[in-house]
A and B are shown apart, each in its own frame.
Chain A
Amino acid sequence: MPNQLLFAIEVTINGLMAGVMYSLVALGFVLIFKASGIFNYAQGVMALFAALTLVGIQNGQVPFSHLINAVFGTDIHHFGWHVPAFLAILLAAGVMVLFAIIVERYILKHLVNQEPIILFMATIGLAYFMEGFGDLMWGSEIKKLDVGLPQGGSLWLEAKSKVLGGDGFYGFYIDKLDIWATFFAAVLVISLVLFSQYTKTGRALRAVADDHQAALSVGISLRAIWVIVWSIAGFVALVAGIMWGAKSGVQFSLSLIALKALPVLMLGGFTSIPGAIVGGLIIGVGEKLFEFLIGAPFLGGATENWFAYMLALVFLVFRPQGLFGDKIIERV
């Protein structure tokens, strides 16, 4: 096979992997949007906060240490323990549940039955709040995130696939972390589907997603459902935070991964979990292939950001509700 074709295949594979990473972020948005009609602007900040909490617990950081030191003149930073990764993930997930309860009690409860734009605005306020709060709690330095996931190219695949091409081909490259991300995304989606199809809570969840008032009238507690949904979204944010944070370290910019999820959401539809996955894959492959074939050689590169939206736009012109979104029925 000619090298150029092999390279294109390699780019496609890596595009799929990148797509999975986008889907992980998009998933959190979809969950909340489905259950409560809220476009949760704070999802990115939640990922950051979850990852910060995880690293903080793991390294035994003292929360608010900078503030405490500034107020009391003390000099404390660490508790001096080191929590194993698995336990730390559980504890961080617990913090996200707590976070969901607080959000429900102090924000959502007061905004039942409001228009989507107002709920969206509430999440803006939440995002501002969390941005300051997270930094204040755990500090602004870049933290290394280490939960024991392997990183780096898979040498086995590289060696095995090298024979396919000629001199300039070095075998296919796949990051081991991406394989794990794919695995976790699959586990997450399957368990979410099972949960919503086969459990009582899951059915209640779907009922709420279909119609708030009807669900209320058959005795489903909207408040409990919201806590559950926000907790799950918090957990998804934690997974996304781990996957993205493993590459860049845990730092403020982690909150910007939400931007990567936007075109995925638009393409896949705000209300569909499979949509988030398929949308992510299409965006991932699309932007990487475009960059490889046209962007880098002819347009000077760095085209991925806008091309993702252009791609979503083209799809939307043909299917205005997104690939898997609910059909928009308009009546006068």
Chain B
Amino acid sequence: MWYREAGDFKKTYSEDSQTFPIRLDRIGYFVILLVAVLVVPFFITSYAANAVLVPFLIYAIAVLGLNILTGYCGQVSLGTGGFMAVGAYASYKLMTSFPDLNIFFVVILAGFVTAAVGMMFGLPSLRIKGFYLAVATLAAQFFLVWLFNKVPWFYNYSASGQINAPERTLLGYIITGPNTSPSAKYLFCLAFVILLAWIARNLTRGTLGRSWMAIRDMDIAAEIIGVNPLKAKLSAFGVSSFFIGIAGALYFTVYLGAVEVGEAFGITQSFLVLFMVIIGGLGSILGSFAGAAFLVLMPVLLKNVLVGGMGWPTDIAAHFEFIIVGGLIITFLILEPHGLAQLWRIIKEKMRLWPFPH
């Protein structure tokens, strides 16, 4: 009844093409943003930050990145873990080689390094298509992990090959290292999420985004209407890797603080991010958040309910976690095959019509 366009008059073109055409959506968006920025940091506990929100935000960035490549440009990638590793190791090398460099720029630069690497591994996409393209990104995945494990320069010749994030500050607040306050961690990641989600949203509805979607829908047709596939595909790989690189850098510097490449950025990581993209919804910004939330929060929630709330033995609870997450994925799929974002779209559609059935 209140959720509809009626009465909300658009007077300019820019108003007409805004992201949230319905007033309630707009309000909701700004309320969430305000709560996330101004309220949550004051109440956030160490557990909520380290176990729930920070990983959620970081995965959201990675999922946004992969969604640009897979959801918008139609190029399947299973190299996310490897590209995250590039971001992590780039940030480590930058942090240790230039101790005075601001952590914010370290993360951004790590994103650019990853973008360059990603574009290099994106080159085969001009020739190989569809599921077969996954082989190029899988090659990147395994090769990069092997490389970071093999070449001691990347981990500054430490005995075991683990990398540790030294303490760095931003505007006087500690951002990395063990003494970081939960709210600093959270806000630092949140800033990147807001910035990158805004970039992603605006890129995907601009010229570049349209050329990506044209390539996704049919690349030969896109070529005929004048989309340059080289430019479109490589820019998708570049932008996507930039996002993923930032996610990798944050994953290492802010979230974990110490990583080992094979364990933190292995193939399971690549699959996990791809699952988030698919479950959230291909080609949807909101879906990226939904997918990340589902696979990050659901296991934690289930664990707390089953072990903390109901007192089950930890191993049986862990098995049921898998069973329930798997069952939920299948159930969602049967109810709505196009991901959580589509589910949300349908709910909105229904709300617009409510209380009338048609």
Contact = CB atoms under 8 A, between A and B. Distances in A.
Chains A and B share a contact (CB less than 8 Å): yes
Interface string B117-144: 0000000100111111011101101110
Nearest to A320: B128
Nearest to A137: B319
Nearest to B134: A266
A48 to B, nearest CB: 13
Contacts of A131: 322, 326
A259 interface: yes
Contact of A111 (B279, B282, B318, B337): B337
B319 A136 contact: yes
Given A67-B316, A133-B323, A320-B129, A124 B278 contact: yes
B323 A118 contact: no
A118 B338 contact: yes
Nearest to A262: B138
Contacts of B316: 66-67, 70, 136
A263 interface: yes
B301 to A, nearest CB: 15
B132 A266 contact: yes
B334 A300 contact: no
A67 B129 CA distance: 46
Interface residues of B, number: 48
A317 B240 CA distance: 23
B260 to A, nearest CB: 15
Contacts of B124: 313, 316-317
A158 interface: no
Nearest to B225: A332
B129 A125 contact: no
A253 interface: no
B333 interface: yes
Interface string A126-147: 1111111101100010000000
A312 B142 contact: no
A125 B132 contact: no
B267 interface: yes
A308 B245 CA distance: 25
A302 B278 contact: no
Interface in A284-328: 299-300, 302-303, 305-306, 308-310, 312-313, 316-317, 320-322, 325, 328
A121 B313 contact: no
Contacts of A217: none
Nearest to A332: B221
A287 to B, nearest CB: 11
Given A118-B337, A309-B142, A330 B220 contact: yes
- The bracket for how many chain A residues form the interface is 35 or more
A210 B324 CA distance: 35
Interface string B301-342: 000000000001101101111111111111001100110000
B30 interface: no
A320 B146 contact: no
A129 B322 contact: yes
A160 interface: no
A7 interface: no
A117 B278 contact: yes
B218 interface: yes
Given A70-B313, A122-B333, A127-B326, A332 B131 contact: no
Contacts of A126: 326, 330
Nearest to B150: A300
Interface in B212-256: 218, 220-221, 224
B87 to A, nearest CB: 19
A313 B275 contact: no
A40 to B, nearest CB: 12
Given A117-B278, A124-B278, A305-B142, A328 B129 contact: yes
Given A302-B146, A317-B127, A132 B334 contact: no
A270 B51 CA distance: 39
Contact of A332 (B135, B138, B224, B322): B224
18 contacts: A70-B312, A107-B330, A114-B337, A129-B323, A131-B322, A132-B324, A136-B319, A266-B132, A266-B135, A303-B146, A305-B142, A306-B142, A306-B145, A309-B138, A320-B129, A320-B132, A322-B132, A331-B220
Interface of B: 124, 127-132, 134-136, 138-139, 141-143, 145-146, 150, 218, 220-221, 224, 267, 275, 278-279, 282, 312-313, 315-316, 318-330, 333-334, 337-338
